[in-house]
Amino acid sequence: MIRDGFRMTIAYDNDKQKFIARIPELDDLVVEGATRPEALQAAEAALEKAFREAADTGREMPVPMDGREFDGKLEIQVSASLHRELSIQARQENVELGMLCAELLSAGLSQRQQGRISRGPREGRGREGFRDGNRDGRRGRREGRGYFNVMDDKASFLEYVRSLDDPRRPPRRRGGERDE
């Protein structure tokens, strides 16, 4: 018997000219259909097959996200410069840092769900979920010893620019490493 509660996303892929259905808890469950109902039917059949195979092999199926308990606490690590910029913004808005972060995460999630922010199709990512299988998320030609990731985000760039004018910081060597 199949447990309810698995979310499913169905989106139209212009390149393939088909509807693509995914179940987030099951990374490898991606099916296609010429119409939305066909994609839904194919996803339900694939989910049923996954449950049968799991039962036959004794493997546990993941608990649906909606069936899990979440406490609302989220611990993340960010760069020191992003932490600084977030703290400055929170101070300017006269709100707690945690509240600002929650608002920004909520706004970003909303934009991503509406398709305004996209990380690209999952098929182009490696097994760990990063593009081209790079564990650190770097893409294409921007990797290697000489690559400076200062342009990857605004906070890193600002930290880099500030470090250029700071006489207390030791000069940078090639490859972004500092002389100690």
pLDDT by residue, tens only, the chain of 180 residues: 456 788 888 999 999 999 999 988 888 789 999 999 999 999 999 999 999 999 999 998 888 888 888 899 989 899 999 999 999 999 999 999 999 999 999 999 888 888 776 665 544 443 333 334 444 444 444 444 444 555 566 666 666 666 666 556 555 544 554 544
CA 124 to each of CA 13, 33, 116: distance values in angstroms, whole numbers, following the listed order: 14, 20, 19
Structure tokens at 47: 């989910």
Distance of CA 64 to the CA centre of its chain: 19
Rounded distance between C-alpha atoms, residue 172 and residue 1, angstroms: 61
